[in-house]
């Protein structure tokens, strides 16, 4: 483990009892999506929901959506107060497992996964993806690895891998026979972490734009969490 880092499990109950931690988590969440070049979701058109990156807004001075909405002012894509509500919502669900990485008592990373039933997965991601993975599933449950993020200034220190291992240990122990899925960007450093744990790419994911891929492991027990 890195000097001064602490991996700590969290859920909605923990976050409600520590409002400062919830606030830091939501701030980091907004920062990652706004500033990470793989997302580039700095501003958003309220009409078409199209995203604009930091470069476009702060360097090129883009203020309005030109995508058939030339008079629509673009707004911050992620807002801390809204994200707080979403995170509390997700982390209060049954089958949620989350971890926070602290460095000098500040939240510098987060990761979480949750157990979903296949019928619910079908509702979210449609028949196309599910028909590709369900033949490999041994159970009706799926462990979906939702989120992995490390502060842009604290990367390349192994924090991401520590969190992935933390989450995947739980998945392997508690849900050994369930399949596990996630989505990531093909150029993301996270992709290499997931590969080293045993996830493999099985499909492109076009829902949120180019370059994203879906990864799976047929059973959580196949995940390599001894590192």
Residues lying near Zn ion in the complex (CB under 5 A) = 45, 47-48, 65, 67, 69
Give the C-alpha separation, 80 to 180, whole Å: 29
Considering the complex, state which of residue 65 and residue 142 has its C-beta at the smaller distance from Zn ion.
Answer: 65
Q: How far is the CB of 62 from Zn ion (least distance, A)?
A: 12
Considering the complex, state which of residue 18 and residue 69 has its C-beta at the smaller distance from Zn ion.
Answer: 69
Q: How far is the CB of 78 from Zn ion (least distance, A)?
A: 17
Considering the complex, state which of residue 1 and residue 48 has its C-beta at the smaller distance from Zn ion.
Answer: 48
Q: How far is the CB of 211 from Zn ion (least distance, A)?
A: 21
Read off the tokens for 92.
């209060």
Q: How far is the CB of 64 from Zn ion (least distance, A)?
A: 9
Considering the complex, state which of residue 76 and residue 158 has its C-beta at the smaller distance from Zn ion.
Answer: 76
């Amino acid at each position: 483990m890195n000097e001064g880092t602490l991996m700590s499990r969290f859920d909605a109950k923990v976050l409600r009892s520590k409002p400062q931690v919830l606030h830091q988590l939501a701030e980091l969440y907004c920062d990652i999506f706004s500033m990470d070049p793989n997302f580039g979701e700095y501003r958003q058109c309220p009409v078409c929901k199209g995203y604009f990156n930091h470069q476009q807004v702060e360097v090129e001075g883009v203020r309005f959506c030109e995508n058939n909405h030339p008079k629509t002012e673009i707004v911050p894509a992620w807002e801390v107060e809204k994200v707080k509500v979403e995170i509390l919502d997700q982390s209060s669900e049954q089958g949620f497992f989350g971890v926070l990485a602290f460095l000098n008592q500040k939240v510098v990373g987060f990761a979480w996964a949750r157990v979903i039933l296949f019928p619910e997965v079908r509702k979210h991601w449609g028949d196309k993806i599910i028909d590709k993975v369900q033949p490999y599933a041994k159970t009706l449950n799926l462990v979906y690895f939702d989120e992995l993020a490390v502060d842009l200034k604290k990367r390349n220190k192994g924090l991401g891998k520590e969190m992935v291992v933390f989450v995947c240990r739980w998945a392997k122990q508690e849900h050994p026979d369930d399949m596990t899925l996630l989505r990531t960007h093909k150029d993301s450093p996270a992709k290499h972490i997931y590969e080293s744990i045993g996830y493999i790419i099985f499909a492109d994911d076009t829902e949120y734009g180019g370059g994203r891929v879906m990864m799976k492991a047929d059973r959580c027990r196949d995940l390599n969490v001894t590192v």
